[in-house]
Amino acid sequence: GAGVSQTPSNKVTEKGKYVELRCDPISGHTALYWYRQSLGQGPEFLIYFQGTGAADDSGLPNDRFFAVRPEGSVSTLKIQRTERGDSAVYLCASSPKVTGELFFGEGSRLTVL
Amino acid sequence: DQQVKQNSPSLSVQEGRISILNCDYTNSMFDYFLWYKKYPAEGPTFLISISSIKDKNEDGRFTVFLNKSAKHLSLHIVPSQPGDSAVYFCAASGDGGATNKLIFGTGTLLAVQP
C-alpha cells in the first residue's frame, strides 16, 4: 500500500548499543512526525520535520536521541547508548502539510535488554 | 503530570447502544482536540476533531462534545458496532491545530459486544 512504512517492525538490542529506526512517509507529504508510545501510555511527541529541517525537537528526551530527514522524505531516528527505559513502540506519522490529518505507520517496537 | 487524562482504561458496550468515552485536560491553553482510534498492531488513525471555538462536532456515528469550563470532552458513538472495538486516544494541542504536535491521553479500550 501507499501508507507510512516503518522498519524494522521489531528490534531487540542490548543496553548500550546503537539503533536506527527508519520511516518512509506517504509520498508527497512534507511534514513528518516521530512519537514514542511506552507500555500503558499514549503516544508522546518527540520531533517533527517540515521538509528537511527539524522544526521542533523539543520532545527528544536527551542528547542520545537524534533524527534526520536529509532529502525531505525518509527519516531515521537514531538512538545512541540505548537504555532499558528506551523500550517502547516508536511511531512515525506524516501529513501533507504541517497541519491536517496525521497518518501513522504501524510503529517499530524497540526492546532493550 | 498528565495533561490529558482518560480515567477509564476500558469500556464494554452492547452492539447498537451508545458508547461514551471521556477525556479531561488540565491545560487551559489547549485549543484543539482530537480523537484517534487504534487497532492492535496498527498505528493510530484519526477519527474526529474539534476546535475550542465549538462545543460539538459530528461526523456520521461519531460526535465529540467539548465543555471548556469543565475542561472535559467526550466522544459519542451511536450506534456502536463490533468493528468499533479498539483503543481510543484523546489528544490535545495548544496551537489551534497549526501543527500535529499533540499531547495524548493514555487511551480507553472499547469492547463492543455483539
Domain boundaries, chain A: 5-97
Phi, psi dihedrals of residue A42, rounded to the nearest 5°: -85, 170
Under 8 Å between Cβ of A89 and A107: yes
Residue B40, domain CATH? 2.60.40.10
Cα angle, residue A89 at apex, residues B87 and A97 outer, rounded to 5°: 80
A56 to B42: CB separation less than 8 angstroms, yes or no: no
Of A45, A91, A100, the CB nearest to B101: A45
d(CA A67, CA A54): 8
At residue B95, the pLDDT reads 83
**Number of domains, chain B:** 1
Chain A residues with CB-CB distance to B101 below 8 A: 33, 45, 48, 56, 59
For B53, the 3-state DSSP assignment is coil
DSSP A72: S
Q: How confident is the model at residue B113 (pLDDT cuts 50, 70, 90)?
A: very high
| Chain B residues 50-79 with CB within 8 Å of chain A | none
d(CA B57, CA B34): 11
All three cell numbers of B2: 498528565
At residue A1, the pLDDT reads 54
d(CA B63, CA B80): 12
Under 8 Å between Cβ of A29 and A94: yes
Q: How confident is the model at residue A97 (pLDDT cuts 50, 70, 90)?
A: confident
At residue B98, the pLDDT reads 82
Pairing of strands A10-13, A108-112: parallel
Task: State the residue range of the domain holding B79.
Answer: 4-96+103-113
Q: For A3-30, what is each residue's pLDDT tens digit?
A: 999 999 999 999 999 999 999 999 999 9
Q: What is the CATH number of domain A5-97?
A: 2.60.40.10
